[in-house]
Amino acid sequence: MTFPIERVRSAFPALAITDGGEARIYLDNPAGTQVPQHVVDAISSCLIGSNANLGGYFPTSLAAGSVVDDAHQAMADFLGARSADEIIIGANMTSLTFHLARSICRDFKPGDEILLTRMDHEGNVAPWLTIAEDLGLVVKWLPFDTETWQVEPDALEAALSDRTRLIALNYASNLTGSINDVKALTAMAKAAGALVFIDAVQLAPHRSIDVQDIGCDFLACSSYKFFGPHLGIIWGSTEVLRNLPAYKCRCVGEELMGKFETGTPQIELLAGLTATVDYYAWLGKQIGGDGSRRAQILAAFDAAHAYERPLAGQLIEGLLSIPDVTIHGITNLNRIDHRVPTVSFSYNGHKPAFVSKALSDQNIFIWDGHNYALEVVRQLGIPEDEGIVRIGIAHYNTEDEVDRALECLAAIGK
């Protein structure tokens, strides 16, 4: 079944906006995506019809309670969780990780070891570095391999010890785009008795996630990267969450849902979050997916991945054909399934900010800088104050948009 790109595009009102007659080309997706009208409507109708705090007997409060429950269930379906109780929703991935790191590491002892990677975004580095400093933990770093662009099992094997308490690992890099074999790495870390915290922020817009299959303890994502509102979500396994102490108000109970969510939730955004998951279910139905919401989500991801794959190939081949461009990540198209379509590169002779601005001048939105992948640029020896140029495809982009970006990039060198 062909991907219904026209129907998809018409679901996103932002894609039709022009500036001075010039269409907007959104290739800034790794930092945030546009949202379907249905998500906008869910947020505004929540603010109109369900706008109250939680716990009352009146209709607006009861409706707000349902909004919160529904969002947790939606994310449980999205991530393949066993129950909505395993879902923690908050402002964004980084804040939630800082918050949860305190609970996760509370009983760690000075000299206990945590493993971080050189491939991760600061959101999965700084919270652990901070708590390590507070508690006297030892931080060990796993490099990524610059041939495979992944964290290799050998590197993990060498770093594990009987003091390893936790590994914080990304599913896909927000700079190189490469995907780690998180299932295999999780199995190794679990066998050594460590907890596994996975940052799936960059993977979540592109591939389906099955937390039970991975076997990790925690997995984080952010819905504004997958066509939703600005929220962060952490899944934690029931067994681990139940035993974790929570930093919470005294009047909040020990029931899992809410235990790690401090204060009043962003209720209207949670309404948008459910609508975001339902967007995937809608997409799944468009391409013949059937059955439960989870089944439709999986069908949507299969179709979106099949649609994105050639676009990623077109982008990579196009970039490789421009003299002076060096891609930092997988370029072998036989290995394209080991990456998400987030492609970073240097353009010899042209500063990243110059390239990014040149494309912005043509209404093509892309990024430059280190994009918070500080450790990645350090390992690659790229100047931190300059970073790279980054183009990221989402499943609402088209071949014409990728061509247009490539033309503009080629023109810079002429």
Ligand X SMILES: Cc1ncc(COP(=O)(O)O)c(C=O)c1O
Task: Pick one of 8, 39, 93, 298: the residue that binds ligand X (CB under 6 A).
Answer: 93
H helices within 236-338, ranges in order? 238-243, 256-259, 267-286, 293-320
At 268, list the tokens.
């209207």
Task: Pick one of 33, 50, 117, 124: the residue that binds ligand X (CB under 6 A).
Answer: 124
Which of 315, 373 has the CB closer to ligand X? 373
Closest CA to 233 of 131, 127, 100, 132: 100
Binding segment toward ligand X, per CB under 6 A, in 51-59, 67-75, 195-203, 323-331? 195-203
Which of 64, 79 has the CB closer to ligand X? 79
Q: Considering the rule CB under 6 A, would residue 232 count as an interface residue with ligand X?
A: yes
Classified as helix, coil or strand, 113 is: strand
Task: Pick one of 174, 178, 186, 346: the residue that binds ligand X (CB under 6 A).
Answer: 174
Considering Cα of 381, then 382, then 383, then 384, what sign does the dihedral take? negative
Q: Considering the rule CB under 6 A, would residue 222 count as an interface residue with ligand X?
A: yes
Distance CA 333, CA 294 (A): 30
Closest CA to 277 of 313, 211, 226: 226
Which of 34, 174 has the CB closer to ligand X? 174
Q: Is the Cβ–Cβ distance between 136 and 111 less than 8 Å?
A: yes
140 sits in which H/E element: strand 138-142
Binding segment toward ligand X, per CB under 6 A, in 18-26, 42-50, 104-112, 117-125? 117-125
Q: How far is the CB of 114 from ligand X (least distance, A)?
A: 17
Which of 170, 344 has the CB closer to ligand X? 170
Distance CA 62, CA 387 (A): 48
Distance CA 298, CA 292 (A): 10
Classified as helix, coil or strand, 149 is: coil
Binding segment toward ligand X, per CB under 6 A, in 18-26, 89-97, 146-154, 383-391? 89-97
Q: Considering the rule CB under 6 A, would residue 117 count as an interface residue with ligand X?
A: no
Q: Considering the rule CB under 6 A, would residue 170 count as an interface residue with ligand X?
A: yes
Q: Considering the rule CB under 6 A, would residue 150 count as an interface residue with ligand X?
A: no
Closest CA to 267 of 66, 40, 55, 56: 66
DSSP readout, 153-204? HHHHHHH--TTEEEEEEESB-TTT-BB--HHHHHHHHHHTT-EEEEE-TTTT
Q: How far is the CB of 174 from ligand X (least distance, A)?
A: 3
Distance CA 409, CA 318 (A): 10
Which of 186, 296 has the CB closer to ligand X? 186
Q: How far is the CB of 247 from ligand X (least distance, A)?
A: 18
Q: How far is the CB of 412 from ligand X (least distance, A)?
A: 25
Instruction: State the binding string over 266-305 for ligand X (x if CB under 6 A, else -).
Output: ----------------------------------------
At 194, list the tokens.
């460590």
Binding segment toward ligand X, per CB under 6 A, in 72-80, 120-128, 332-340, 376-384? 120-128
Binding segment toward ligand X, per CB under 6 A, in 92-100, 327-335, 349-357, 380-388? 92-100
Classified as helix, coil or strand, 80 is: coil
Task: Pick one of 31, 40, 63, 295: the residue that binds ligand X (CB under 6 A).
Answer: 31
Q: How far is the CB of 128 from ligand X (least distance, A)?
A: 13
What are the residues binding ligand X (CB under 6 A)?
Answer: 31, 92-94, 121, 123-124, 170, 174, 199, 201-202, 222, 232
